[in-house]
Amino acid sequence: MSKVKVVNLVKKFDKTVAVDGISFDVRDGEFIILLGPSGCGKTTTLRCIAGLETPDEGEIYIDDRLVNDLPPKDRDIAMVFQSYALYPHMTVYGNLAFPLKMRKLPKDEIDKKVREVAKLLRIEELLDRKPRQLSGGQQQRVALGRALVRTPKVFLMDEPLSNLDAKLRVYMRAELKKLQRDLKITTIYVTHDQAEAMAMADRIAVMNKGKILQYSEPHHVYEKPANLFVAGFIGSPPMNFIKASIVEKDSRIILDAGFFQYELERELGEIVKREASGSEVVIGFRPEHMILSKERGANSVFQADVYVIEPMGSNIIVDLKAGEYLLKAVTSPAIEIPPPGQKVWVGFPLEKLHVFDAKTEKTLI
Ligand code: ATP
């Protein structure tokens, strides 16, 4: 078991700043996920930790030891990539045994380890097969096994599930999480899939443009996003955003979105007024927190046109047109929604409302 610490890591490729001064720590046995859109610097960060890239600035520590100058093979790290990179001419047994053979372990010890890992990953009956005789999920398990077999200090995984079909991916992510919990190997995992990150991670580092915007537990990133980017990146369908201005009327603080006005409670209004860089803000509310009703209710804030209804089985996605916006709401099939073209009242509980500074994109409330 081990901990990892990254301090002010910078990595440039010519003029491209791939990683722009990021710092984070990973606790002993923790499973953390670097999450962000394509090109935000996730893979480069992972490759710096593995020793496959040389940082331009910053320090990387594994168990309090500075490893910047250690070659990859001496860092005691195992890496699993998107492509499984199994040796096609070797059997599953041969693939699993390979890292141990390289370390010149005695034959009987290699055999014991290979069988242990095969049992753990439930691939014992596949040991004599070649990779091409395996399904995607089985190949993925072999790739994991090959990384696990020498019990590394740290596990680095770069989108290891992205080649699997949707169903298998959901199955394997639970398997992988269970395995990590059981083995307690410190793990840094890269993905652009927010659902995967939410489901698996102890903590998520949300990245954009080479920076970490928030590093916290999944529920915290979802409930208290640090800024507009994180709020929009976490959650599916994504959070709805509406531009508004802060208006003061008779010492009341109102968010004016044009097609509706929303009066803030005194205390919250004071915070928004004090923290905002100007008068322009962005109101955010999640599809799953919206309350739709045919008649105006206590929570109703504005009226919208029903645009499309998407039945999803366990819930319904309702696409709404309000002002210049196309919004998405998620509701229960038990709620009666007027057909497309008709109007519906939309509301959201105050405690689920988010307000961001339009200019700095920081969360105000
Ligand atoms: P993805 O999810 O698409 O793999 P990522 O978040 O892992 O993206 P990186 O692969 O770390 O992002 O890339 C970050 C930036 O650095 C990108 O702009 C990329 O084009 C650039 N980059 C990465 N590797 C190199 C390289 N070897 N040479 C030049 N530019 C690179």
**pLDDT (tens digit per residue) in 68-125:** 999 998 999 998 877 767 899 999 999 999 989 988 999 999 999 999 889 888 889 9
pLDDT, position 171: 85
Q: How confident is the model at residue 160 (pLDDT cuts 50, 70, 90)?
A: confident
Among residues 82, 81, 96, the alpha carbon closest in space to that of 126 is found at 96
pLDDT digits (tens, 9 = 90+) for 349-361: 989 999 999 999 9
Whether 151 shows a pLDDT value over 90: the answer reads no
Q: Which of 20, 42, 56 to mutate to test the pocket of ligand 1 (most atoms within 8 A of CB)?
A: 42
Residues recorded for the chain: 365
pLDDT digits (tens, 9 = 90+) for 330-348: 999 988 899 999 999 999 9
For residue 104, is it left (φ>0), alpha (ψ between -120 and 50) or beta? left
For ligand 1, atom 25, name the residue with the nearest CA: 13
Architecture of domain 4-231: 3-Layer(aba) Sandwich (3.40)
Is 241:223 a contact under the CB 8 Å cutoff? no
> CA-CA distance, 339 to 351, in Å (whole number)?
29
48 lines ligand 1 (CB under 6 A): no
Beta bridge partners of 67: none
Q: How confident is the model at residue 1 (pLDDT cuts 50, 70, 90)?
A: low
54 lines ligand 1 (CB under 6 A): no
Q: How confident is the model at residue 234 (pLDDT cuts 50, 70, 90)?
A: very high
- Please compute the mean of the pLDDT values over residues 272-294 and round it to a whole number: 96
Which strands make up the sheet holding 154-158, listed edge to edge? 77-80, 154-158, 186-191, 31-35, 203-208, 211-216
- A 10 A CB-CB count for 253 gives 20
> CA-CA distance, 321 to 335, in Å (whole number)?
19
Q: How confident is the model at residue 274 (pLDDT cuts 50, 70, 90)?
A: very high
pLDDT, position 147: 87
Residue 90 burial by Cβ neighbours in a 10 Å radius (0-12, 13-18, 19+) = middle
Tell me the CA–centroid distance for residue 43 and ligand 1, in Å. 7
For residue 331, is it left (φ>0), alpha (ψ between -120 and 50) or beta? beta
What percent of the chain shows pLDDT beyond 70?
Answer: 99
Task: State how beta strands 31-35 and 57-62 pair.
Answer: unpaired
pLDDT digits (tens, 9 = 90+) for 3-48: 999 999 999 999 999 999 999 999 999 999 999 999 999 999 999 9
Q: Which of 12, 43, 159, 191 to mutate to test the pocket of ligand 1 (most atoms within 8 A of CB)?
A: 43
For residue 179, give Cα distances in angstroms to 162, 168, 183, 258: 18, 16, 6, 52
End-to-end, the C-alpha distance of the chain in Å comes to 39
Q: Between these two residues, 209 and 113, which has the higher pLDDT value?
A: 209
What residue has token string 């652009």?
A: 192
Is 38:210 a contact under the CB 8 Å cutoff? no
The amino acid sitting at 90 is M
Please report the atom of ligand 1 found closest to the CA of residue 19: 14
Three state DSSP letters for the chain = CCCEEEEEEEEEECCEEEEEEEEEEECCCCEEEEECCCCCCHHHHHHHHHCCCCCCEEEEEECCEECCCCCHHHCCEEEECCCCCCCCCCCHHHHHHHHHHHCCCCHHHHHHHHHHHHHHCCCHHHCCCCHHHCCHHHHHHHHHHHHHCCCCCEEEEECCCCCCCHHHHHHHHHHHHHHHHHHCCEEEEEECCHHHHHHHCCEEEEEECCEEEEEECHHHHHHCCCEHHHHHHCCCCCCEEEEEEEEEECCEEEEECCCCEEECCHHHHHHHHHHCCCCEEEEEECHHHCEEECCCCCCEEEEEEEEEEEECCCCEEEEEEECCEEEEEEECCCCCCCCCCCEEEEECCHHHCEEEECCCCEECC
Tell me the CA–centroid distance for residue 55 and ligand 1, in Å. 14
Question: Residue ranges of the domains in the chain?
Answer: 4-231, 240-357
Tell me the CA–centroid distance for residue 49 and ligand 1, in Å. 15
> CA-CA distance, 251 to 16, in Å (whole number)?
49
Tell me the CA–centroid distance for residue 243 and ligand 1, in Å. 33
For ligand 1, atom 19, name the residue with the nearest CA: 39
What residue has token string 């097969």?
A: 129
What residue has token string 């209804």?
A: 309
Is 28:1 a contact under the CB 8 Å cutoff? yes
138 lines ligand 1 (CB under 6 A): no
Among residues 62, 4, 3, the alpha carbon closest in space to that of 28 is found at 3
Same fold, 4-231 and 240-357: no
> CA-CA distance, 20 to 11, in Å (whole number)?
7
- Please compute the mean of the pLDDT values over residues 236-252 and round it to a whole number: 95
- To the question of domain 240-357 being in CATH 2.40.50.140, the answer is yes
